[in-house]
Amino acid sequence: MCRGPDDKSLVIRYRDTATALNGEKRAELAGKGLLNAAISHLLFAYLAENGIATHLIQVLDEESALVKKAAIVPVEVIVRNRAAGGFSQKYGVPEGTALLNTVLEFCLKSDALGDPMLNHSHITALGLASEAELAEMTRQALVINGLLCTLCEKAGMTLIDFKLEFGRYDDSLILCDEISPDSCRLWDTDTGKKLDKDRFRRDLGDVLGGYREVLRRLRHARSL
Ligand code: 5GP
CA of 182 to the centre of ligand 1 (A): 8
Which run of H or E residues covers position 148? helix 131-154
The predicted pLDDT at position 63 comes to 93
Angle at 191 between CA 186 and CA 193, to 5 degrees: 40
pLDDT digits (tens, 9 = 90+) for 157-192: 999 999 999 999 999 999 999 999 999 999 999 999
Q: Average pLDDT in the 73-83 region?
A: 98
Testing ligand 1's pocket by substitution, the residue of 78, 144, 149, 200 carrying the most ligand atoms inside 8 A of its CB is 78
Q: How far is the CA of 50 from the centre of ligand 1 (A)?
A: 24
Interval 91-125: pLDDT, tens:
999 999 999 999 999 999 998 999 999 999 999 99
- Alpha carbon of 6 to ligand 1 centroid (Å): 32
Closest atom, ligand 1, to C-alpha of 162: 10
Mean of the per-residue pLDDT values of the chain: 97
Q: Which protein residue has the closest C-alpha to ligand 1 atom 22?
A: 183
pLDDT of residue 69 exceeding 80, the answer is yes
Measured in angstroms, how far is the CA atom of residue 123 from the centroid of ligand 1?
19
Residue 150 has pLDDT above 90, yes or no: yes
pLDDT for the residue numbered 148: 98
Cα separation, 211 vs 184, in Å, equals 11
List C-alpha distances in Å: 48 to 27, 97, 170.
Answer: 32, 31, 17
Residue 4 pLDDT grade (very low, low, confident, very high; cuts 50, 70, 90): confident
**Residue 112 neighbours by CB under 8 Å, 6+ apart:** none
pLDDT for the residue numbered 57: 97
pLDDT at 22: 80
Ligand 1 center to residue 159 CA distance, Å? 13
Pocket mutation for ligand 1, best pick of 118, 149, 162, 163 (most atoms within 8 Å of C-beta)? 163
Q: Kindly report the pTM of this predicted structure.
A: 0.96
Residue-wise pLDDT for 46-55, tens only, equals: 999 999 999 9
The residue whose C-alpha atom lies closest to atom 4 belonging to ligand 1 is 86
Q: Which atom of ligand 1 is nearest to the CA of 180?
A: 22
- 70 near 55, Cβ under 8 Å? yes
Residues with CB under 6 A from ligand 1: 76, 78, 84-87, 115, 161-163, 182-185, 197
pLDDT digits 0-9 by tens, 20-59: 988 889 999 999 999 999 999 999 999 999 999 999 999 9
**What is the CB neighbour count within 10 angstroms for residue 141?**
21
Compute the distance from residue 198 Cα to the ligand 1 centre, in Å. Answer: 10
Task: Give residue 49's pLDDT.
Answer: 98
Structural contact between residues 81 and 160, judged by C-beta atoms closer than 8 angstroms: yes
What percent of the chain clears pLDDT 70, i.e. is strictly above it? 100
Ligand 1 centroid to Cα of residue 161, in Å, is: 8
